[in-house]
Amino acid sequence: MKILFINLPYYGHVIPTIGLVQELIKKGCAVTYLLPFSWEEKIAESGAEFAGYDNHKQLSKQMKNAYAVAEGMIEQYDFVIYEQFFFLGKHLAEKYKKPVARIFTAPATNETLMQEYIASKGPMSVFKHKWIAKAFTKNIAKGIPMKTDNWLDEIIFNPPELNLVYTLREYQPYEAEFPEAQYKFLGPSIYDRKGEPLDFAKGQNPVVYISLGTVVEGAEAFFQKCIEAFGDEAVDVVISAGENFDLRKRLPANIHIYRFVPQLEVLKMADVFVTHGGMNSVSEALVSGTPMVVIPFASDQPVNARCVEKLGVGKRLEYSQASKETLKETVMSVLCDADIKNNLAKVREIIGQAPGNSGGAQMIIDYYESRK
């Protein structure tokens, strides 16, 4: 089976799918992965064939470029996989009579959840104005007969028969609204990202790991609060600061700051993870069994914070309330919470029983065979 995999150039949308591609190839499929040209090296590492399109800062132009290239090559493939926001994927597959599957690298989206994303302060918030959503759709899908005139409605109300979701059903918000026959929950997909060599080894004190992802306004001020909160405590603090901190500052002996760290390696030794609540970070903490303090900012992060609380594997702290006193109090309470540790153990058991990328690859093959 020859598969065309269409994705958009966002780290958290691509990296979880690498394992799926590798499993499909192991099972005898030939996979071509369509992404902007800057991703060629990473895709080559997966064993897939690479096909490229021109990248652009504007999402609408990314989508148009991806669609144009995909349409020019789709007839030579047997199956199409597309990511959650590439709303043209199902139409393209149906136009050329190809079976199709959709990938969610975050929780699957329904109308309620989409409204929560739009209500956040993230990039989706602009679409709270329906006329903007419709203009965005018209710009991309000009000349393409769509089921609706709003790309968000296309995502929500026109799902394909097979949807693969990279989380647990127990994690999924509003899980009852996603039919089991149509939505398959694979569990987290973890890819070992490399960071700076880590000159830190765990000692006798608990380890608090802090990371807010790559782009967070006010991150340096937040990290300064963390230094003040924990600088005189019997804990070792590892901060992944990205470009958001002046590493020349003098620090207390128990504070260790890096640009980037090998996150999975750090999570294995961490006793608490202070995170912005990005899906990749939450998934890695669940797999590692690391309790969380989630400080959400925007996009899917508030939803993820709620899911962490729902599973009982951490606590939520609003950024506006994150003084050095509340930071210390919340982190120390999570450190001492036996229920959180027990709940994490249960979640890890469920993850161990989830289909994973191998199961997801087999579902795609079985679905293709059933459509012959």
Domain ranges in the chain?
Answer: 2-187+354-370, 207-352
Q: Do domains 2-187+354-370 and 207-352 have the same CATH topology?
A: yes
Cβ contact 303:282 at 8 Å: no
Nearest residue to 170 via CA among 357, 348, 26, 320: 348
d(CA 329, CA 185): 35
Residue range 256-306, pLDDT digits in tens = 999 889 999 999 999 999 999 999 999 999 999 999 999 998 888 999 999
Q: Is the pLDDT of residue 192 over 70?
A: no
Question: End-to-end distance of the chain based on CA atoms, in angstroms?
Answer: 12
- For domain 207-352, the CATH superfamily is Glycogen Phosphorylase B; (3.40.50.2000)
The predicted structure's pLDDT at residue 214: 67
The predicted structure's pLDDT at residue 123: 81
Q: Residue 78 — pLDDT band, cuts 50, 70, 90?
A: very high
Q: Is the pLDDT of residue 138 over 70?
A: yes
The predicted structure's pLDDT at residue 195: 57
Q: Average pLDDT of 336-340? A: 97
Q: Is the pLDDT of residue 86 over 90?
A: yes
Q: What is the dihedral of CA 213, 47, 357, 108, to 10 degrees?
A: 50
Contacts of residue 203, Cβ cutoff 8 Å, sequence gap at least 6: 236
The predicted structure's pLDDT at residue 146: 83
Q: Average pLDDT of 352-360? A: 97
| Threshold 0.85, pTM exceeds | yes
Q: Is the pLDDT of residue 254 over 60?
A: yes
Place of tokens 């996989």: 81
Residue range 20-56, pLDDT digits in tens = 999 999 999 999 999 999 999 999 999 999 999 999 8
Top CATH class of 2-187+354-370 equals: alpha beta
Q: Residue 139 — pLDDT band, cuts 50, 70, 90?
A: very high
d(CA 43, CA 20): 12
The predicted structure's pLDDT at residue 191: 74
Percent of the chain at pLDDT above 70? 97
In this structure, of 89-98, 164-173, 207-216, 228-237, the range with the lowest mean pLDDT score is: 207-216
Edge to edge, what strands does the sheet with 207-211 contain?
255-258, 236-240, 207-211, 272-275, 292-294, 314-316
Q: Residue 147 — pLDDT band, cuts 50, 70, 90?
A: confident
Q: Which two tokens stand for residue 264?
A: 């999975």
φ, ψ of residue 182 in degrees (nearest 5)? -105, -30
Q: Which two tokens stand for residue 66?
A: 């991806």
Q: Is the pLDDT of residue 253 over 70?
A: yes
Distance of CA 246 to the CA centre of its chain: 28
**DSSP string covering 31-99, please?**
EEEEEEGGGHHHHHHHTPEEEEE---SSHHHHHHHHHHHHHHHGGG-SEEEEETT-TTHHHHHHHTT--
Contacts of residue 273, Cβ cutoff 8 Å, sequence gap at least 6: 209, 210, 211, 267, 281, 285, 290, 291, 292, 293, 314
In this structure, of 89-93, 127-131, 245-249, the range with the lowest mean pLDDT score is: 245-249
Q: What average pLDDT does the structure give for the chain?
A: 93
Q: Is the pLDDT of residue 248 over 80?
A: no
Cβ contact 236:205 at 8 Å: yes
Helix, strand, or coil (residue 273): strand
Percent of the chain at pLDDT above 90? 78
The predicted structure's pLDDT at residue 57: 86
**Most confident of the ranges 10-14, 250-254, 283-287:** 283-287
The predicted structure's pLDDT at residue 27: 98
